[in-house]
Amino acid sequence: MSDYHEAKTLALSAQLAGSPTGIYRKPFLLALQPPLVNLGEKVTLECRSEIMFDTFILTSHKNGTIKDSLKLSAEHHRWNFKAKFSIGPVTPDHAGTYKCYGSYNHSPYEWSDSSDPIDIKITGLYKKPFLSALMGPVVMSGENMTLSCVSDLQFDMFHLSREKVPKKHGLPSVKSHNGTFQANFHLGPMVQAGYYRCYGSFRNSSHLWSTPSDPLYLPVTGFLCVALTILEFTWSTRLPMNSDIHLPLLIM
C-alpha cells in the first residue's frame, strides 16, 4: 500500500474511531511559499516538531472533515524533525484547509494534536478585478487610505493581499450604480508600503479566487521629512550660528 493510500486509510479509520488525536504535543505547519497559489503552480508545506516522531501526516479538510491525507517519514535536521509535502501542480481540488500531525510507527492510529491550520487559496479561476486607490497612489505617514476593488462579475466577496499575503478578512460585494460590483478596503492610518492586489470569490467556493488584479504599489512618505525636521531643530538649539560642522544624513 502506498504512503498516500495508507495515510488516507489511517485518517478515515481515525475518524471512525473517534479521531484519537491529541496524544502528543502539536507540530508546527508552515507554507514555504505564500498561501495564494496560482492554478497549475506548486506549493510546499513543511511539518516540523521538536519531538522525535517517526512520521508526519498532512491532511486537507473540507466542511470540517478530512478530505485527503499524505504520510511522510520524518527527517532529522539539527534540533528538529520535519517533512516537506509538495503539492501540485494545483487544481481547484487542492484548495482548502491543511493541518499536520505527528505519529509513531508502533502506534499509527495515535496522532499528536493537530498543528495550527493553513488555508490554501487557489487563484486564477476567474477574470481579474481592478484595484485603485480612492485618494491617490501616494500615502503620507499617518494618513488613512481606501482601496477599491471593482469587477463586472457578480462576485460574492472581495479579498485584499499585500506582497501576496492575504488580509485576514474579505469584504462582501456591493453593487454600484453603474452595474459593477465592488468593495472598499479601509487601511487606516498605519498603511504599510508594498504591492497590493485584490481578488474575487463566490460564496460556495471560498477557497477558489479569481486571477489577481494588476498590482498597485503604495509608497508611504513622510518619515524622512519628519526625521530631518527633528534633526534640524535639535542641532539648531545646540550649535552657534556659522559653525563649520557637516552633519551625516542617515536614511532608513
Q: Is residue 243 part of a domain?
A: no
CA distance 82 to 155: 39
Pair 16, 113 in one domain = yes
Pair 106, 178 in one domain = no
- CATH number for the domain that contains residue 138: 2.60.40.10
- For 55-81, the pLDDT digits (tens) are 999 999 877 777 888 999 999 887 889
Domains contained in the chain, number: 2
Pair 140, 200 in one domain = yes
Pair 57, 111 in one domain = yes
Q: Is residue 55 part of a domain?
A: yes
| Residues 124 and 113: beta-carbon distance below 8 Å | no
Pair 15, 117 in one domain = yes
Residue 228 backbone dihedrals phi, psi, to 5 degrees: -65, -35
- The pTM of this model reads 0.75
Pair 147, 67 in one domain = no
Q: Is residue 178 part of a domain?
A: yes
Residue 120 C-alpha cell reads as 490554501
Query: Among residues 66, 99, 123, which one ends one of the domains?
Result: 123
Q: Is residue 94 part of a domain?
A: yes
Pair 158, 213 in one domain = yes
Task: State residue 105's pLDDT score.
Answer: 93
Range of the domain at 109: 3-123
Residues with Cβ < 8 Å from 136, sequence gap 6 or more?
none
Pair 151, 196 in one domain = yes
Pair 163, 140 in one domain = yes
Residue 52 pLDDT greater than 90, yes or no: yes
| Residues 157 and 172: beta-carbon distance below 8 Å | yes
Pair 180, 114 in one domain = no
Percent of the chain with pLDDT strictly greater than 70: 75
Pair 29, 93 in one domain = yes
Element (H, E) at 235: helix 223-236
49, 126, 184, 196, 228 from 151: Cα distances, Å = 43, 11, 12, 16, 43
- For 28-46, the pLDDT digits (tens) are 999 998 889 999 999 999 9
Pair 138, 119 in one domain = no
Q: Is residue 251 part of a domain?
A: no
- For 130-184, the pLDDT digits (tens) are 999 987 656 565 677 899 999 999 999 999 999 989 988 899 999 999 999 999 9
- For 204-223, the pLDDT digits (tens) are 899 999 999 999 998 876 54
**Higher confidence at residue 102 or residue 187?**
102
Q: By C-alpha distance, which of 162, 149, 163 is closest to 201?
A: 149
DSSP string, 51-98: S--SEEEEEEEETTEEEEEEEEE-EEETTEEEEEEEE-S--GGG-EEE
Q: Is residue 203 part of a domain?
A: yes
Q: Is residue 212 part of a domain?
A: yes
Q: Is residue 68 part of a domain?
A: yes
Question: Omega of the bond prior to 137 within 30 degrees of 0, cis?
Answer: no
